[in-house]
Amino acid sequence: MKAHRVIAMLAALLAVVVLGACGSDDSESSGDTAGGSTATATATAQPSPAVGETVGPAGEKATPTSELELTPEEIEKIKSGNHTAALVWHQSSDFVNAVSRGAKDQFAELGIDVVAETQANFDAGKQKSDIETVMAKRPDALLSLPVDPTATASAYRGAVEAGANLVLLSNVPSGFVQGKDYVTVVTDDLFEMGHQAADALAAAIGGKGKVAYFFHDAEYYVTNQRDEAFKQTIEQNYPDIEIVAEQGIADPAKAEEQANAILVKNPDLDGIYVTFSQPPAEGVLSALRNAGNTKTKMVSLDLDEVLAIDMAKGGNTAALIADRAYELGQAMAKSAAYGILGKEAPEFLVAPVITVTKDNLEAGYQESLNEAPPKAVLDALG
């Protein structure tokens, strides 16, 4: 973990040096009603009626990941085939690590060997190279999150033509047809994430007051759906909550400055929604701290160490809505087996979501990432 962190810091430094060019859309996301918010998830929030549902990148209807099933005969058949798989990610992060772990554990159960793993730093050119490189090992399955649907289409085309069963996370390359070019696409229950964020924020501020809405200002269906779900849920289910400020975050690194301005204009805010935790919600949190504000409650999406510590200490952070990243990985690996077997997979799968608050912090980390919270978070819990 320590080593990971040092490497992550070095990588961050590098990223700063190369600054201009990197505009990472943080694509981590989340959420599903279907698989089930657990009892712990509702420790502080009561679910309000759903005002919409998650749809796929091309409007596909969602199927919960829990519906994937392999029979013992199918598992035996896969095991005896000596199959291989490669993981081609868009970047490296806690989220990607958890998805990778889920996929690798599931592949191990199926006797499928993971022969290569890459991450592209959000660079479409590098992702194309990564795909070409891993294809030298002729994997039967390719698990991937395309950096960009348009810019990576040609790269995936080559892999599909070489016979790899493609299982996608969140993004689908342009022009690709499910069942023909790729096995299926898996993502979080996006709408449910935004929905639970609204419920959690409403619970934290007692169901009424003024809130600010920091949304991701980019064409990205993952964050767009989550943000929209938050807004719709507040507007339709919570008539006493007023969104008094809306701020688009185009550059996630600049959220703190934007939050400073919003806090100056609206010193009496009750709550803040931030589109994702790392880095924008961390930026908003430091803006709150700089302003000496201990009253405004914040809700964001995706687990994050800084925010989790703040939450554990009873700070501004009221809840983090997390996806079950580990389960996403498992579902991708199972879907790959569908592809290898030639079994028809659902066209669009969503993994469940949980609301993590101070009350279920430890269990929430386990459910989402299949690992304990970082030590600093546990220490902060006391």
Residue numbers at the binding site for other proteins (CB under 8 A): 3-4, 7, 10-11, 14, 17-23, 25, 89, 92, 100, 114-119, 121-126, 128-130, 132-134, 136-138, 147-155, 174, 218-219
Could you tell me the two tokens for 365?
A: 């980390």
Shortest Å distance, C-beta 127 to other proteins: 9
Shortest Å distance, C-beta 376 to other proteins: 20
Q: Which is nearer to other proteins, 155 or 197 (CB)?
A: 155
- For the CA atoms of 148, 15, 190, 348, the dihedral, rounded to the nearest 10 degrees, stands at 40
Report the 10 Å Cβ neighbour count for 111: 14
Which residues, 6+ apart, have CB-to-CB distance to 180 below 8 Å?
none
Q: Which is nearer to other proteins, 71 or 154 (CB)?
A: 154
Q: Which is nearer to other proteins, 92 or 277 (CB)?
A: 92
Q: Which is nearer to other proteins, 149 or 315 (CB)?
A: 149
Phi/psi-derived region of residue 367, left when phi > 0, alpha when psi is between -120 and 50, beta in every other case:
alpha
Q: Which is nearer to other proteins, 36 or 175 (CB)?
A: 175
Shortest Å distance, C-beta 77 to other proteins: 25
Shortest Å distance, C-beta 302 to other proteins: 19
The H or E element that residue 75 is part of is helix 72-79
- Cα separation of 15 and 9, whole Å? 10
Shortest Å distance, C-beta 91 to other proteins: 9
Q: Which is nearer to other proteins, 1 or 39 (CB)?
A: 1
Q: Which is nearer to other proteins, 66 or 174 (CB)?
A: 174
What would you report as the CA-atom Rg of the chain, rounded to the nearest whole angstrom? 20
Could you tell me the two tokens for 214?
A: 């920091």
Shortest Å distance, C-beta 159 to other proteins: 13
In the sheet that 317-323 helps form, which strands lie side by side, from edge to edge? Answer: 241-249, 209-216, 271-274, 297-301, 317-323, 353-356
Shortest Å distance, C-beta 279 to other proteins: 17
Taking the alpha carbons of 348, 323, 213, 25 in that order, is the dihedral positive or negative?
negative
Contact by Cβ (8 Å): 298, 284: yes
Q: Which is nearer to other proteins, 101 or 343 (CB)?
A: 101
Is the previous residue joined to 279 through a cis bond, with omega within 30 degrees of 0? yes
The H or E element that residue 295 is part of is none
Shortest Å distance, C-beta 197 to other proteins: 24
CA distances from 123 to 15, 91, 224, 267 (A): 12, 9, 21, 40
